[in-house]
Protein backbone atom coordinates (compact mmCIF):
# COMPACT_ATOMS: atom_id res chain seq x y z
CA UNK A 1 0.00 0.00 0.00
CA UNK A 2 1.36 3.46 -0.77
CA UNK A 3 2.48 5.49 2.22
CA UNK A 4 1.21 8.88 3.35
CA UNK A 5 3.64 10.82 1.15
CA UNK A 6 2.66 8.87 -1.97
CA UNK A 7 -1.05 9.37 -1.23
CA UNK A 8 -0.47 13.10 -0.72
CA UNK A 9 1.31 13.44 -4.05
CA UNK A 10 -1.03 11.21 -6.07
CA UNK A 11 -4.31 12.64 -4.77
CA UNK A 12 -3.24 16.17 -3.86
CA UNK A 13 -4.36 15.88 -0.24
CA UNK A 14 -2.79 17.13 2.97
CA UNK A 15 -0.92 14.82 5.34
CA UNK A 16 -3.71 14.61 7.97
CA UNK A 17 -6.17 13.49 5.26
CA UNK A 18 -3.84 10.77 3.99
CA UNK A 19 -3.17 9.60 7.55
CA UNK A 20 -6.90 9.48 8.38
CA UNK A 21 -7.63 7.49 5.22
CA UNK A 22 -5.01 4.90 6.15
CA UNK A 23 -6.27 4.82 9.76
CA UNK A 24 -9.84 4.15 8.58
CA UNK A 25 -8.69 1.25 6.43
CA UNK A 26 -6.61 -0.14 9.32
CA UNK A 27 -9.53 0.19 11.75
CA UNK A 28 -11.80 -1.61 9.27
CA UNK A 29 -9.32 -4.47 9.23
CA UNK A 30 -8.39 -4.03 5.58
CA UNK A 31 -4.78 -2.93 6.14
CA UNK A 32 -2.07 -4.19 8.43
CA UNK A 33 0.87 -2.01 9.45
CA UNK A 34 4.19 -3.79 10.01
CA UNK A 35 6.71 -1.66 11.84
CA UNK A 36 9.72 -1.03 9.63
CA UNK A 37 8.20 -2.86 6.66
CA UNK A 38 5.21 -0.76 5.60
CA UNK A 39 1.46 -1.08 5.34
CA UNK A 40 -0.06 -4.06 3.55
CA UNK A 41 -3.51 -5.10 2.36
CA UNK A 42 -4.68 -8.01 4.51
CA UNK A 43 -5.91 -11.30 3.14
CA UNK A 44 -9.69 -11.19 2.92
CA UNK A 45 -11.43 -12.78 5.86
CA UNK A 46 -14.89 -11.61 6.85
CA UNK A 47 -14.63 -9.76 10.16
CA UNK A 48 -18.17 -10.57 11.23
CA UNK A 49 -20.24 -13.63 10.35
CA UNK A 50 -23.32 -12.83 8.35
CA UNK A 51 -26.66 -13.84 9.81
CA UNK A 52 -29.06 -15.43 7.36
CA UNK A 53 -32.55 -14.02 7.12
CA UNK A 54 -34.47 -11.16 5.59
CA UNK A 55 -33.00 -7.67 5.82
CA UNK A 56 -34.38 -5.29 8.45
CA UNK A 57 -37.73 -3.83 7.44
CA UNK A 58 -38.53 -6.65 5.05
CA UNK A 59 -42.20 -7.68 5.31
CA UNK A 60 -41.16 -11.34 5.10
CA UNK A 61 -39.54 -10.99 8.50
CA UNK A 62 -42.76 -9.99 10.28
CA UNK A 63 -45.19 -12.38 11.90
CA UNK A 64 -48.85 -12.12 10.98
CA UNK A 65 -50.80 -10.53 13.83
CA UNK A 66 -54.50 -11.01 14.36
CA UNK A 67 -54.94 -13.60 11.61
CA UNK A 68 -57.55 -16.31 12.14
CA UNK A 69 -58.70 -14.94 15.46
Q: Is residue 33 part of a domain?
A: yes
pLDDT of residue 61: 56
Q: Is residue 24 part of a domain?
A: yes
Q: Is residue 51 part of a domain?
A: no
Domain containing 29 equals 4-41
Listed in sequence order, the residues at least 6 apart from 33 whose beta carbon sits closer than 8 Å to its beta carbon are: 26, 39, 40
| H or E element that contains 40 | strand 38-41
Tell me the pTM. Answer: 0.58
pLDDT of residue 69: 46
Q: pLDDT tier at 29 (50, 70, 90 boundaries)?
A: confident
Provide DSSP, 8-37.
Answer: HHHHT--HHHHHHHHHHHHHTTSEEEETTT
pLDDT higher at 29 or 61: 29
Q: pLDDT tier at 18 (50, 70, 90 boundaries)?
A: very high
d(CA 65, CA 1): 54
Q: Is residue 63 part of a domain?
A: no
Domain count along the chain: 1
pLDDT digits (tens, 9 = 90+) for 30-52: 899 888 888 899 887 666 666 66
Amino acid sequence: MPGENDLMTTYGVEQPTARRALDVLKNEGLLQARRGAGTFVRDFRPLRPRVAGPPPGCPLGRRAVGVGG
